[in-house]
């Protein structure tokens, strides 16, 4: 656990963000390694099938993840206020919720995998592989919730290093297993799905063992968990808007995938790879935003509002520098990076086109995420939800549809940074109003 309410703000945020940055990179390596192995050893059809599956998975789990994020904010604020009884109750409540929600998500995923893919107009030649991948993945989704929920709890307590260690174990295990199942055993796309589930299961099992053996606040036992309705209500207030936002963003991703699907398997494969690389490139922004959220949560719980302003300035500087360097790398070497995933020249060209257009605007995404991170940490998630939905549903999706008809597939790529720009304008404007300061779970009679 780490106390973020005292000490040099920028240094604390950097030290807290660095393990999360590495952790998020390793998290993205899960899907990237799967895509490389699938693309090289099975083919572009399987690569497109994996890519078509990710928006469906994201949509099915977004609401659950959003509410877990709300619980993490509650944990960080109670920890900042030194109310350790409430911290323990929040942790217990999160685990109970994750188990129930995971069972529901598994059932829904197994039933809806095929219909959702068909609704999106997924090319018929990749449909069987995409359905197989989704059904295997959803059969073990409860493992994913348990493992990621544990990591989120630790981050809420100020511990960003321990989740990194377990994530490294999971990533290394996934690399070994996916090569074994796909390249050696020739299990096809099913092998990639089984490798991911087993790797997550290994990391979750080790995390439970370690926490029960060493941690003071967390004890995971089926009979020892207690559900707290008030804590869950607070988690819903904070997490439900984020969950709704994530779900509608995921549906927006499905809508975007539907537009991409109109252009065939090559475009779908190129987009799938490029969007995986996008995810890695945007990891610094998301990591600094997560670190800032925990920093804000603890300091607003401790009623130290000036530290939040100083922390924001430091975070903008650090994340901005990293983002500019990342954009330059993608623009210069995007074509070479794409060739790691496939030997198909057309798929490489399409992915490189996406990366060239989108990556020069990464700074817009970074700033938008940073300001949203402040509001999440304060527990103010409702208006940021509307901002994201406006930028997605009123700007990006209609613009992608219109431009793709006028100038072809590149019109889809140009719509993405335009959506980021609108989202940034809304988030920055709302931050300047200061209304987010009044949304804290822990209330004070002064300076709020």
Domain spans, the chain: 9-439
User: Which residues make Cβ contacts (< 8 Å) with residue 63, sequence separation at least 6?
Assistant: 243, 244, 246, 247
Contacts of 294 (CB under 8 A, 6+ apart): 4, 16, 72, 76, 155, 156, 158, 377
Transcribe 350-398 into DSSP letters. HHHHHHHHHHTTHHHHHHHHHHHHHHHHHT--HHHHHHHHIIIIIIIHH
Exposed/middle/buried for residue 303 (C-beta within 10 Å: 0-12, 13-18, 19+): middle
DSSP string, 84-123: HHHHHHHHHHHHHHHHHHHHHHHHHHHHHHHHHHHHTT--
SS (H, E, C) 245-275: HHHHHHHHHHHHHHHHHCCCHHHHHHHHHHH
Q: Tell me what pLDDT residue 279 has.
A: 81
Strand, coil or helix: 223 = coil
Residue 280 has pLDDT above 80, yes or no: yes
pLDDT in tens, 56-82: 888 778 777 777 777 777 887 788 778
The predicted-structure confidence for 212-249, as pLDDT tens digits, reads as follows: 787 666 666 667 778 888 888 888 887 787 777 778 87
- pLDDT tens-place string over residues 173-226: 999 999 999 999 999 999 999 999 999 899 888 888 887 787 666 666 667 778
Half-sphere exposure of residue 200, counting CA atoms within 13 Å on the CB side? 25
Hey, is 243 helix, strand or coil?
A: helix
Lowest mean pLDDT among 18-22, 323-327, 441-445: 441-445
Q: What is the mean pLDDT of residues 366-384?
A: 85
Which percentage of the chain shows pLDDT scores above 90?
A: 37
Q: Say yes or no to pLDDT of 419 above 50.
A: yes
Q: How far apart are CA 415 and CA 399, in angstroms?
A: 6
Look at residues 133, 292, 245 and name the one whose alpha carbon lies nearest to residue 197: 133
SS3 (DSSP) at 217: coil
Here the tokens at position 233 are 């209500």
Q: Which band of pLDDT confidence, cut at 50, 70 and 90, is reported for residue 442?
A: low
> How buried is 407 (Cβ within 10 angstroms: 0-12 exposed, 13-18 middle, 19+ buried)?
exposed
């Amino acid at each position: 656990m780490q106390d973020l309410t005292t000490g040099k703000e920028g240094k604390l945020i950097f030290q807290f963000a660095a393990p999360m940055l590495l952790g998020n990179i390793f998290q993205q390596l899960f899907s990237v390694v799967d895509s490389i192995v699938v693309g090289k050893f099975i083919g572009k059809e399987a690569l497109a099938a994996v890519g078509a599956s990710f928006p469906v998975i994201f949509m099915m789990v977004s609401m659950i993840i959003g509410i877990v994020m709300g619980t993490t904010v509650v944990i960080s604020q109670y920890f900042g206020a030194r109310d350790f009884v409430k911290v323990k109750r929040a942790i217990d409540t999160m685990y109970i919720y994750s188990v129930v929600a995971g069972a529901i998500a598994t059932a829904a995923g197994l039933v809806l995998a095929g219909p959702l893919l068909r609704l999106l107009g997924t090319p018929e030649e990749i449909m069987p592989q995409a359905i197989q991948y989704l059904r295997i993945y959803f059969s073990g989704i409860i493992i994913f919730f348990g493992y990621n929920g544990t990591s989120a709890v630790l981050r809420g307590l100020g511990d960003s290093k321990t989740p990194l260690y377990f994530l490294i174990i999971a990533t290394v295990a996934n690399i070994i297993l996916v090569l074994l199942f796909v390249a050696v055993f020739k299990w096809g796309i099913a092998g990639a799905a089984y490798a991911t589930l087993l790797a997550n299961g290994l990391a979750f099992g080790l995390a439970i063992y370690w926490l029960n053996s060493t941690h003071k606040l967390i004890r995971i036992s089926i009979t020892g968990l207690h559900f707290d309705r008030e804590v869950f209500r607070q988690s819903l207030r904070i997490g439900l808007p984020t969950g709704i936002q994530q779900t509608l963003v995921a549906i927006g991703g499905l809508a975007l995938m539907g537009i991409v699907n109109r252009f065939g398997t090559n475009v779908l494969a190129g987009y799938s790879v490029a969007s995986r690389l996008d995810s890695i490139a945007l990891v610094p922004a998301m990591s600094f935003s997560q670190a800032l959220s925990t920093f804000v949560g603890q300091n607003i719980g401790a009623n130290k509002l000036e530290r939040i302003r100083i922390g924001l300035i430091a975070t903008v500087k650090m994340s901005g520098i990293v983002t500019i360097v990342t954009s330059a790398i993608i623009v210069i070497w995007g074509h070479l990076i794409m060739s790691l995933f496939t030997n198909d020249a057309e798929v490489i060209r399409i992915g490189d086109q996406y990366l060239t257009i989108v990556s020069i605007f990464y700074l817009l995404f970074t700033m938008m995420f940073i300001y949203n991170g402040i509001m999440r940490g304060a527990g103010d998630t409702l208006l940021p939800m509307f901002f994201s939905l406006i930028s997605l549903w009123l700007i990006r999706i209609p613009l992608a549809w219109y431009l793709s008809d006028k100038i072809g597939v590149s019109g889809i790529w140009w719509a993405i940074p335009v959506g980021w720009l609108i989202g940034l304008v809304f988030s920055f404007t709302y931050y300047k109003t200061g209304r987010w300061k009044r949304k804290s779970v822990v209330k004070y009679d002064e300076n709020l």
